[in-house]
Amino acid sequence: MRGQEQASPRDTTRRRVLRAGAAGLTAGAVTGSASAATAGASAPGGRFTDKVVLITGATSGIGEAAARALAAEGARVFFCGRRAELGRRVESAIRSAGGDATYVRADVREESQVRAFVAACVERHGRIDVAFNNAGVESPRAVRLHEQSLRDMENVWRTNAGGVFLGMKYEIPQMLSQGGGVIVNTASISAEVGFATIAPYNASKHGVASLTKVAALEYAADGIRVAAFAPGAVDTPMLRRAAEAFGVTYEQIAQDYPIRRIVTAEEMARVMMWLGSPEAAPVVGTDLDASGGYLTG
């Protein structure tokens, strides 16, 4: 960090805490943007040709990047998000490129809406081959635990961990009835380590990792493979908001990663696609490190 040699030990420690807190906020429905304009163009013979892929939180960020990339490999994508305007835009872009995508507005905090979303996918396509539970939000305030509000804790928990729980609750019965399937959940480096001042997010992502392990153990023998992946800092609006809130730059955040850069939503989408493909058949219950080396040390 520039000027660090002039900083006091206390200031240096505080900056490290803030930088780490910003880096710990990754992934989810509200993250990201539609980058590659041509993403979503259908490619006959792709890994996901005619596979039905259900995605929560695909109106932007990693979810959107995954929807576009999956459609480009032949998947029939069925996705939700709370922001209808963005959802329709993503759906239209994928269809214009020759892909198959259907958007349904749904809030993963609401059980009735998750149940209806999953049912609508089955009604339209008859099955769910891969479910990608990705919807998520960040901690709204960077404050210590005793300053956190119960309202913020409940909202982040219900979206991030509760959304994964409800998603699997209704995806799994369909997969049991059809003889199997794959579920991929978006966790975070925050599921593996603690980050000061983002307790709601940190706790919720630990919940995602735990739910992944439990579901993997309970349903592996039924042909349902469940796994998660742990992004680090991803170039998305969520990270930009976090960096601004914590008063740090991308350059400073990147210093904590061995690869010395911030990864893209498209890179995370490729990780998700690998986990959802037959190539990852032996990967069960893990929270795959996709952090660019952050969790290595």
Report pLDDT digits (tens) over 221-265: 999 999 999 999 998 877 888 788 778 899 999 999 999 999 999
201 is catalytic: yes
Query: 201, 219, 257, 294: which one is catalytic?
Result: 201
Give the C-alpha separation, 109 to 106, whole Å. Answer: 9
The backbone region for 176, taken as left when phi is positive above 0, alpha when psi lies in -120 to 50, beta otherwise, is alpha
* Tens of pLDDT, residues 8-65: 334 444 455 555 666 676 544 343 334 433 455 555 568 999 999 999 999 999 999 9
- Eight-state DSSP code of residue 101: E
Domains and CATH numbers, the chain: 8-34+47-290 (3.40.50.720)
Mean pLDDT to the nearest integer, 204-222: 98
Residue 291 neighbours by CB distance under 10 Å: 25
Beta bridge partners of 110: none
* pLDDT of res. 202: 97
More confident residue, 18 or 135: 135
What's the token pair of residue 230? 């742990």
Residue 30 neighbours by CB distance under 10 Å: 23
* pLDDT of res. 6: 39
Please calculate the CA angle 106-108-112 and round it to the nearest 5 degrees: 70
- Please state the φ and ψ torsions of residue 145, each to the nearest 5 degrees: -55, -45
Lowest mean per-residue pLDDT among 51-55, 121-125, 247-251, 280-284:
247-251
Q: What is the CA radius of gyration of the chain?
A: 19
* Tens of pLDDT, residues 137-190: 999 888 999 999 999 999 999 999 999 999 999 999 999 999 999 999 999 999
Contact present, 72 and 269 (Cβ < 8 Å): no
Mean pLDDT to the nearest integer, 274-285: 98
